[in-house]
Amino acid sequence: MARTIAQFDTPVIYTDGAQYTAKACGRERDDGLWEGWIEFENTRTGHALRTVRETTQPNLADLTYWATGLSPVYLEGALARTLKAPPTREPAQVTPPRFDGPARPRAGSDSPRDSVLNPFSVYEKNPDLLAQELTALRGWHLKQIIRDYHLTDDDVGLEDMSEPELGSLIMRRVRALHR
């Protein structure tokens, strides 16, 4: 069952001047994870719309934490993505794929992942910020980052490492691969 996770007091203003109220919503999926989206309501017309899934979190507490961190700039971007119509294009000749699946991502690449953050992106902005962000994450988040960004050759030993050790491993590998 869907529920409102957070209601935002400041209206979101679109480029055409229309104002919208925003709220973060979520629901538990069949697999036990929680997905979140944002709903907008035009303050003048009452017309409501919603984003596609914005996040997937392991539990309601983490979804609530995500929602409380949404900034006005994020909400403006989400509204713009929702209102902007996708470009239309002529249908292309459909040819079968040449490969059976996607390529394995390289360390540091920006391909989509399940990780809560991209350590390379954060490191580029500020290495100290990455260190700070890593201390706030749980072990399973840190292990997911290590796996998704291929920061080790295998998973051997990851289960026996503490959260500080996992964070330190991420920092060392990102620093070495960033050069």
What pTM value is reported for the model?
0.50
Q: pLDDT of the chain along its 179 residues, tens only?
A: 899 999 999 999 999 999 999 999 999 999 999 999 999 999 999 999 999 999 999 999 999 999 999 999 999 999 999 998 676 677 777 777 777 777 665 655 554 456 788 999 899 999 999 999 999 999 989 999 998 888 987 777 888 899 999 999 999 999 988 77
Cβ-contact 39, 49 below 8 angstroms: yes
Between CA 107 and CA 173 the distance in angstroms is 10
Cβ burial, residue 85 (10 Å; 0-12/13-18/19+)? exposed
Between CA 36 and CA 34 the distance in angstroms is 7
